Every structure is written in structure tokens, then in C-alpha cells.
Amino acid sequence: MSDKFPKLFLVFLGVLFLLNILQSFFTELIYDEAYYWYYAQDLDWGYFDHPPMVALMIKLGSLFFDGELGVRFLSCLFSAGTAMVLWLLIDNPKKLEYQPHFFLLVFSLPLLNAYGFLTLPDTPLLFFTAVFLLIYKSFLQKETAIKAIVLGIIMAAMMYSKYHAALVIIFVLLSNPILLKNKLSWLALIVSLVCYAPHQFWLFDNEFVTLNFHMNERPNQAYSFEGFTLGYLLNLIVIFGLLFPVMYWALFKSKEKDKFSKALRFLVFGFIIFFFISSFNRRTQTQWVVVICIPMVVLAFNFILQEIKARKWVFRLGLVSTALLLYARIGLIYEPLFPVIYETHGNKDFAQRIVDTVGDIPVVFENSYRRPSMFSFYSQNPSYTQNNLFYRYSQYAIDDSEDKIRNKKVAYLSKYYKGKDFEIEYKDGSVFYGEIIDDFKSYRKLKCFLEEDGVAAGDQVKIKVFNPYSFDIQIQELKFYIGFMNAYKQMRESEPLVVDYSSLKSSIPSKDTLLLKTKIPKPKKPEMKYIRFGILENGIYPGINSSPYKFNGSN
């Protein structure tokens, strides 16, 4: 190994790995990590929001360690692996003279730094993207069937990490379209599709719920240059931190010397342009473009090996950035050092306050896929989220967690529904209101279907209500609602539907359908463009029980 990884490199890598291990152990989870930990409690080939790689990482890590370190252990390994692969991607022999510069460069990129220990879908995506580029580089030098098969496996691993991996594959292909005529390239594609087939079957079995949510049902908002496009352009600076001038200097000065360097540039420009165009339609999150850090590190380090001035700036800015990021890392653990209360602060205490108040009964949170998973992680007590029309679906909507708390005594916590039994202060000083429900009803998988799309206020409609459960549901336990959404599918108001319950059967039989006749009411606001149906069980707020349907206003 010493011929590829010199001793000094391994020393730097060991220090970085140890730092990430210690950070993992002492830092409380962020909300998304807790949510993915919840994924890992029931391994599957897919989940509502993401493919399953992040859940598998947590499951494997938890075999070796408990608590936060178990959740993050594989991320620490992947981070070290990413640094090693990046080093291998750089051919210039001068790199041996500038190993400190390499680690300053890698450590100074804020998100690459954070994903050194946080377990999020981008963590494995970064690692497998680096490995993909390494194998692709070797494939360009000498094509073999073995390399094609490995490429296929790595492409599948990328896609199992995050759907954004498709863009990595597409932009590399666009950089070298001759691959479309290469039999071994098609072999790689076939292998990747075979490896990815279980997730595709999962999507089919779950009615493509993930893709449908992200592409059709996710709420958006009216375009604003500041919030969308300018925000995206600022993100392109944020991902590189203080080093952003050097990174973009390297990008624009680098030349396409061969097919591999061309692939690196296509990757960077492809992502930047793709999400720039996307920014005119929806708000773009910073982590959506984080994968460009992989090709950018290679381009930037090769550049600074040739450019003395750039090398000096990387060293200077890298030291300052390292100091700032180390301070931020300490602040993640020690709250007084942070300017605001962050996600890693106060979670254990909040969970303990809940347990001290309600005991070990299940806790149901309103409209949050994050808080129930965080509470369960730190209390080891069952939890659930009951989402209403004004929120969104999550993994809790498609798994069996609802079955575990139905008909049981639960504590219901909300920031909006003024529960009458207790109050618990949240870590930011806000208040959660609580109510003990002795016999909790939850039928959030009931599905409402309109026979036709595009209805208007005043229309008489027939709604089919399907019961997917293995038991009958009494009609007297239910009330039916309609929600009105604007053009961006943001829920704005809800109204009870006028239904003649006396004309209905007493129950909805298992695996059967109820036909509900009602009249579409007129919304209070005229700009409503979509409707959605909800069903109320506990007298609090109606759930999400249908897809959005087009609304044509008033007749």
C-alpha cells in the first residue's frame, strides 16, 4: 500500500478518521439521521423518500456500535475511502510533495467535511461516485469485461444511494457518447439494471410512491429570483466555503486533456447547468449539487500542483477554513459555542422530558416525520406521526407503524392542537401541547378516489373510499373532509364534506370500497387549483387520504 499511499498520507487519513469517529460519538443525531435510523429498523429495498443504501449503512454500523456511533460508523469509513480514491484519481507525481495541501483542500469543503461523519444519502453517493470515476478512468485506459461488470455494480450502488446518481451517469456518458457503440458499456448497463432490479420491483409494488411524490405531489411555491435562482447561485459558493475562488479558478483554467478530464468537467458543468435551469421552477437544496465536489477536488488539486499562486491560497484559506470548521464541529457538541440552537442540541433532554411526563406509552407527533424518529432513537419507546392535510406523506404513511399504535393508549403531541392534558417545552422555547388518548384510532391508509379529474364547486361527485386493511372500519368513526390547494399544491384550507351518513352502510368491509356521494363546496379563497380528500378519526385533524385532483373553481 505504501507505493500508492505514503506514510504521511496515512497519518493524515488516520487523524481525519479518528476525528470523525470522535465527532460521531459525541454529537447527537440531526433529524434526517434519526429518520434514516428509523428506516434501518425494518430493512427493505426502498423507502418513501430515498433508495435503501443509507438504511443499510446504519444497520451494518449498528451491528458494531450502539447509539450515534453505530448510526455513523459506516459514514466514517466511506469518508476515509473517498479521500483514498480521490488521491488515486490524481496522477501527477508532484502530489507527494503536497499531501498537506490535499487534506486541507478536502477538509475545507464544508459539506464534504460534514459528510465525513453524518449519515445521509449523499454520504454513500460521494463515495461511490469517486469509485465510479476511478473504475471509469481505468476502463478508458484498458477495456475489459471485468471492469465493465464492476462499473455496473458501482452504478447500481450509486443509484441505491440517491436518485441524483442518474445525473452522474448521464453526464459522463455525454462526455463520451462513443460509449453507446461499445459492447462492454452495454454490459455495464445490463449489470447495473440487474443489480438495481429489486428496488425497481419495490417501486412497482408501492405504486412508484417515491417518484410520484418528488415529481408530482411535493409542494412548491411561487418563483422568486432571490429565493430560487439567487439562492441556488449562493449555494454554489457555500459548498466550497472559503476556497470557492480557487475552486472555480481551477475549473475554468483546467483543460480537457483526455476523455477522463473531459468527464470531470462535464460532470461539474452538467450539474451546475441542470440545477440552474431547475432553479426557475423550484427551490434547489445545497446538497443536490454536492456530488460536484468529487470531480472538483481532482481538478483543483491538479491545478494547484501547477499553479504556485493557487497553491499558496489553498494553504492559507485552508488553514482558516479548517479552524472555522473545527470550531463548528465543537459547537455541534457544545451548544454555547453555536450562534443558534441546532438540530444536534437538546434531543436527549426533550425525549427524556416526554418520557418523564407520559411514561412508556407510545407517543404520536402531529405533522413531523423527524420528531417521532428522534424521540424513538433516544427513548427506545414506540412513536408515530399522524400527518394531516396541511402536511406531507413520509415513510410512516406506507409502513406498518400505524398498526403498532392503533387502539392503544397514546400521548398525542402537537404545536397547534391545544391538547388539554399537559405541556412540554421544546428546546427552542416553544411549547408542545399534549393529550392522552385512551383508544387511538388511525386509518390513514384509507384511500379516496374521484371517478374523474377536474371538478368545480357545486359539482355532485362520487368518491370511492377503499379500505386496504384486514378488518372492517365502522363509518361512525369517520368524518370526511376536502382540502383546497393553490397552484403550487400548498394546502390553504379544509372543509367538512356534507354527507348523508344515514344512507351509508355501517362499515367499510376489508379490501372493499364504499361509494360516497357529496357536493364539492366552494372554497373561501378564489385561487384554489387542486383538491385533496381527508378522513378524520380522532376529532383532531383530517389525514391525507387521496392524491391531488384538479379543481376548476366555481360553476
Q: pLDDT category, 2, cuts 50, 70, 90?
A: low
Averaged pLDDT, 458-484: 94
In this predicted structure, what is the pLDDT of residue 255? Answer: 85
Is the model's pLDDT at 555 over the cut of 70?
no
- Lowest mean per-residue pLDDT among 44-53, 208-217, 452-461: 208-217
One domain for residues 53 and 171: yes
Q: In 3D, which of 489, 487, 554 has the Cα closest to residue 522?
A: 554
One domain for residues 394 and 460: no
One domain for residues 507 and 388: no
In this predicted structure, what is the pLDDT of residue 416? Answer: 85
In this predicted structure, what is the pLDDT of residue 145? Answer: 97
One domain for residues 462 and 318: no
In this predicted structure, what is the pLDDT of residue 539? Answer: 84
CATH of residue 548:
2.60.40.10
Share of the chain above pLDDT 90, in %: 85
SS3 string, 480-549, reads EEEEEECCCCCEEEEEECCCCHHHCCCEECCCCEEEEEEECCCCCCCCCCEEEEEEECCCCCCECCCCCE
Could you give the C-alpha distances from 349 to 10, 344, 352, 404, in angstroms and in order? 39, 11, 5, 25
pLDDT digits (tens, 9 = 90+) for 444-464: 999 999 988 889 999 999 999
Neighbouring C-alpha atoms within 13 Å toward the C-beta of 492: 17
pLDDT digits (tens, 9 = 90+) for 274-294: 999 999 988 888 899 999 999
How many structural domains does the chain have? Answer: 3
pLDDT digits (tens, 9 = 90+) for 359-386: 999 999 999 999 999 999 999 999 999 9
The C-alpha angle with vertex 516 and arms to 510 and 518, in degrees rounded to 5, equals 160
Concatenating the DSSP letter of every residue in 367-430 gives S-SSHHHHHHHHH---EEEE-BTTS---GGGTSSHHHHHTTS-EEEEESSS--SSEEEE-TTS-
pTM for the model stands at: 0.94
Averaged pLDDT, 36-50: 96
Mean pLDDT of all residues belonging to the chain: 93
Is the model's pLDDT at 242 over the cut of 90?
yes
One domain for residues 413 and 493: no
Domain's final residue, options 411, 437, 463: 437
Which structural domain range is residue 356 located in? 347-437
Q: Under a CB-based contact definition with an 8 Å cutoff, are residues 317 and 249 in contact?
A: no
Averaged pLDDT, 421-431: 90
In a domain, 372, yes or no: yes
One domain for residues 196 and 134: yes
In this predicted structure, what is the pLDDT of residue 256? Answer: 84
One domain for residues 70 and 173: yes
In this predicted structure, what is the pLDDT of residue 453? Answer: 84
Domain's final residue, options 336, 357, 376: 336
